[in-house]
Structure 1
Amino acid sequence: MNRESVGAVRSEELIKPGRLAGFLAGGLRPAALFLGAYFLLSIAVRLMLPNALTLDEAEQALFSQYWLAGYGPQPPFYNWVQNAFVSVIGISLFSLTLPKFLMLLLCYLFFGTAAREIDARPAFAAMAMLSLLTLPQLSYMPQQDLTHTVAVLMATSLFLYGLFRTLVRADWQGYVIVGLAIGIGMISKYNFGLLPASALIAVFCDREWRARLLDPRILLTAIVGLVIVLPHALWLRDNLDLATSGTIGKMVEANAPHGIVRIVRALGSLVLACIAFGALTVAIFAIAFKREFMRSLKAGDRWTRLLALMMAVGLLGVILVILFTGTTKITERWLDPYLLPLPLYLLLKLERAGVDTTSHLRRFVPVFVVIMLVTLVPLAGKTLTGGLTGGYTRINYPFASVAEALKAEGRPAVIIAAGMNLAGNMRLQFPDVPVVNAEQPIEGFPAPDAMKGPVLAIWTDGGRAAGSPPIDLSSVAALGLTASPAKSLSLPYYYGDGKMQLNLGYLWLR
């Protein structure tokens, strides 16, 4: 028997006493079922909370009204997927939640599939797949409020699978998968672009793998990627300022220093982001494997060198962004495409040091379960205890009650709302009514023949309706409607102390 066969038998014997661990050791399918149950529970927890939306959810709800080649600072892939779900099952909290967790499940599954290309043992693929739970960006943060980030994580895992498959088998399917992943990644988040560049450099540095870059089938990669990216690229050509302003704004602090002080601060934020991204994973592996972990730091092979070089080049790219732009802060979210391979890298280092990592699956299962349970608590806990702690979330906003009060006065044909969060929530509460964000109207929406009264204009104003309404109504000016006097609406937060209220101003145009 070879080393892998002996290792597999030894792993099965050690894992067998733990029923769940034994089930998960079966490979990708059992691990996917396990994670699928976790994500179904995640959806259920979200649906149990009030029918109000977080900021990202509100954005998706609003943008689901129309199909565009670009929507603003973020590329459109997630919006397109979201719109497809809404087109099929309608706008609801469920249809806004489902795509995120399906993409997240695919991210885990593609990652496990990528690991299987390197090591065919079922337990190893499952171990690699589940180890993503140790990354807060893959476990904790998606439970809060992520959309586009989840899409780029899925694209990154798909890219790793396509890359590894191409290096192992060099079949045309691998080249197509890489192109598909690059296309999806580039229209998920722009920072994905550094990942294929880092992979290109890492593969080029291996003498044998270098031939994969000269294979004519790499044209399939280019064609598939270009076809996916082209519609948004054409839009981006004419909307570059709109697409980049929001991203650059998030990376530059107000009143930021200049020169060397800015660079030092930005590099410091990069170091902190790296720690925030991977410290928990490294700590869990170090505690679980102890001396073996320290010994593994000196071990490696061409696969660990590939992953290390990819991560290093990706981070080097971020440093270049810092040096040549006005960037002052980097968050761990920006590092997702570059550091996602970290758990697999650590597992491979341990394997190359002679450690059978699959034999430790039973020890890791309680860690995975605890992470799953803990990550479900914060959003629900903060929402349900808002009245006790004073720490409210946007989910505490009483938008369902707001809708009931407004419907008692009439049914609007169009809603003009001030701000993304308010507009998205109005879209959820009035699913058959076109909603316009007064701060970012979309040209041609609603269609001219659909624009009619009555129009409901609504804004957040602290309960003060006096004076001129703080909302731009130019998008409905051509209708020639007459505005009623502005009114105030104040309702207590859900699960609040009865004192904290959502204060809105509104008026009707008839």
Structure 2
Amino acid sequence: MTDTADGSYVSARRATRLSTLLPILLVATYFTASFILRLLRGGDLASDEAQQVAFSHALQLGYGDQPPLYNWLFYCFGKVFGVSVDTLAFLKNATLLVSCIFLGLAARKVARGRDTAWISVLGLLSLPAIFLLSQRDLTHSVGAFAAVAFFLYVLARMAERPSVGNYALLGAAAGMGFLAKYNFAIIPVATVIALLLEPGLRRLVLTWRLAVTIAVGLVVAGPHVYWVVSHLDTATGDTLTKMRAATSNEAPSQLRAAWQLLASIVKCSALTLAVFAVVYRGHIRTIFAATSEWTRVIGRMLVISMILVFVIMLAVDATLMRPKWISIFFVAFPLYLAFKVDAAGVHVPGAIGKLTVLVGALIFVFLGVVFAASFH
């Protein structure tokens, strides 16, 4: 090997190490900083945090209009570490970190490439629900983000090795997702439809093992489902009231619902898409023209989920949709973008470094904004 070849090889190795080290450093620094700044903000609790503290003294099947998984997690952490702002902040940031880990693992299961995994993780951090809403006052949705990421990882794992154990694990993931956020129930339905529409993956649905998934999911979520049926007004009343917000607009309710949903979709995805477009400018047409089994499956899951959300809005006569209510579905959006890049075979030198810098600047600026706003 010539000196020139040796130098090129060493440079390539260094670039690879750097593209791995930078995102790891960003993720570790960001969640550490988020934890510390929440402690510095003091003991004034936001509404969701106050609810966690209020419900932390007893372990129950249900607590109100939100499912209980995050309450159970905080109850356990509170018993071990005490009920405090420290525990609230640690659990939230640890849960968000878990979301990043499982989404990256899902990408690695399908594409195997480090770049694909980091695109999905950095893309997740660029979602407004993660870097802004979560730092303000989300709790149950934070648990749901982790549940969606875990579900996607298990789905990819099951596709690779469709064993009874993996089908059972998918059922457990689906059950936990429902216990994290009620609208998670849409995701398994969208997944089944998306897989049935993909000939190469249809076999994952058309098998007796799916009964194992359903059975395990019912076992995990069943006790709380019984509680919901027994306390239906408590579990759903407040949410439906918010979605049926009064409005002076004389437009048909169906049109208002469609507009609200479309606006929320844009708010959930536009910033991530813009960051992605900056890094991969010049290759956008190639990337979005590329397709694979998994780009089609994830893309269909997103579209079907939004269609089902719209159908539910029409069914309950909802005229309001806030971005945070559909934010859990967009955990899959960075994974979709990562699979698109992988399918296109596009290799932009330094892309992960650029993505890390852009996302890092974005999330730390808004972390500072949230911190400063807490004193006003």
**TM-score > 0.5, shorter chain as reference:** yes
Q: What is the identity, as a one-letter code, of the residue corresponding to 2:21?
A: F
Residue 320 (structure 2) pairs with residue 329 (structure 1): yes
Equivalent in 13, 16, 19 of residue 14 of structure 2: 16
Does 2:61 match 1:69?
yes
C-alpha distance in 1 between matches for 2:71 and 2:87: 12
Kindly provide the CA deviation profile for residues 307-364 of structure 1, in whole angstroms up to 9, marking residues without a partner as x.
1111110011011112221100111122223222112212222332230268511221
Q: What per-residue deviation string (whole Å, max 9, x for no partner) do you get for residues 45-73 of structure 1? A: 01112222111111100000111111110
Shift of 1:378: 2.0
CA distance in 1 between counterparts of 2:224 and 2:283 reads 48
Equivalent positions of 1:359-378 (< 5 A) are 359-378=350-369
Equivalent in the alignment of 1:177: 169
Q: Which residue of 1 aligns with 2:28?
A: 36
Please tell me whether the aligned partners of residues 158 and 167 of structure 2 are also in contact (alpha carbons under 8 angstroms). yes
Instruction: Tell me, yes or no, if the aligned pair for 2:120 and 2:337 is still in contact at 8 Å.
Output: no
8 Å contact 1:269–1:329 — kept in the other structure?
Answer: yes
Equivalent AA in structure 2 for residue 350 of structure 1: V
Off by >6 Å, runs of 4+ in structure 1: none
Residue of 215, 232, 244 corresponding to 2:207: 215
Structure 2 spans left out of the alignment, 5+ residues = 1-7
Note if contact 1:108-1:129 (Cα within 8 Å) is conserved in structure 2. yes
Aligned equivalents of 1:373, 1:14: Cα separation in 2: 29
1:81 to 73, 76, 79: 73
Structure 1 residue 272 corresponds to structure 2 residue 270: no
Match of 2:244 in 1: 252
Cα gap change, 1:140/1:12 in structure 2, threshold over 3 Å: closer, same or farther? farther
In structure 2, C-alpha distance between the alignment counterparts of 1:355 and 1:313, rounded to whole Å? 28
- Percent sequence identity is 32
SS of match in other structure, 1:140: helix
Deviates more, 1:173-182 or 1:225-234: 173-182
In the alignment, structure 1 residue 284 sits paired with structure 2 residue 284: no
Q: Which has the larger radius of gyration?
A: 1
Root-mean-square deviation over aligned CA pairs: 2.2
Preserved CA contact (<8 Å) 2:264 2:322:
yes
Closer/same/farther in 2, CA of residues 19 and 370 from structure 1, 3 Å limit: farther
Offset at residue 257 of structure 1 (A): 6.0
Task: Quote the offset at 1:173 in angstroms.
Answer: 3.7
Question: What is the CA-CA distance between 1:76 and the residue it aligns to?
Answer: 0.6
Contact 2:147-2:173 at 8 Å conserved across structures = yes
Normalising to structure 2: TM-score of the pair?
Answer: 0.92
**Contact 1:14/1:359, CA 8 A, preserved across alignment:** no
Matches within 5 A, 1:53-452: 53-255=45-247, 261-356=252-347, 359-384=350-375, 386=376
CA distance in 2, matches of 1:99, 1:359: 33
Quote the offset at 1:163 in angstroms.
1.0
Measure, in 1, the Cα distance between the counterparts of 2:9 and 2:360: 20
Give the counterpart letter for 1:58 in structure 2: A
Tell me which amino acid in the other structure corresponds to 1:302: E
- Partners of 2:124 and 2:130 within 8 A in 1: yes
Q: SS of the counterpart of 1:297?
A: helix
Relative contact order higher in (CA < 8 Å, ≥ 6 apart) = 2
CA contact (8 A) 1:347 1:357 kept: no
Asked whether the equivalents of residues 293 and 350 of structure 1 are also in contact (C-alpha less than 8 Å), the reply is: no
* Cα shift at 1:102: 1.2
Structure 1 residue 13: Cα displacement: 4.8
User: How far apart are the structure 1 equivalents of 2:323 and 2:75?
Assistant: 28
Contact residue 252 and residue 329 of structure 1 kept, 8 A: yes
Conserved 8 A contact 1:85-1:95: yes
CA distance in 2, matches of 1:169, 1:355: 28
Distance 1:373 1:12, change over 3 A: farther
- TM-superposed CA distance for 1:218, in Å, is 2.5
1:50 aligns to 2:42 (yes or no): yes
Higher mean C-alpha displacement, 241-250 vs 215-224:
215-224
Q: CA–CA distance in 2 between the matches of 1:282 and 1:275?
A: 10
Find the residue that maps to 2:226 and give its secondary structure: helix
Query: 1:121: Cα distance to partner?
Result: 2.0
Q: Tell me how far 1:34 sits from its aligned partner.
A: 4.5
Q: Return the alpha-carbon distance in structure 2 between the equivalents of residues 324 and 46 of structure 1.
A: 40
Q: Distance in 2 between matches of 1:267 and 1:286?
A: 26
- Give the deviation of 1:127 after TM superposition: 2.8
* 336-345 or 141-150: bigger deviation: 336-345
Q: Distance in 1 between matches of 2:9 and 2:338?
A: 15
Which one has a larger percent helix, Structure 1 or Structure 2?
2
Alignment-derived partner of residue 4 in structure 2: none
Q: Which has the higher strand share?
A: 1
CA shift digits 1:149-205 (9 cap, x unpaired): 011111111111111111122133422331121111111111111100000001111
Amino acid of the residue matched to residue 307 of structure 1? I
TM-score normalised by the chain length of structure 1? 0.68
Long gaps (5+) in structure 1:
1-9, 25-29, 387-510
The separation in 2 between residues aligned to 1:46 and 1:11, in whole angstroms, is 44
Superposed CA offset, 1:416-465 (max 9, x none): xxxxxxxxxxxxxxxxxxxxxxxxxxxxxxxxxxxxxxxxxxxxxxxxxx
- CA distance in 2 between counterparts of 1:229 and 1:378 reads 38
Distance 1:11-1:180 versus aligned 2 partners, 3 A rule: farther
Structure 2: distance between partners of 1:303 and 1:336? 21
Distance 2:17 2:344 in 1: 28
Distance 1:343 1:39, change over 3 A: same
Letter of the 2:316 partner, please give it.
Answer: T
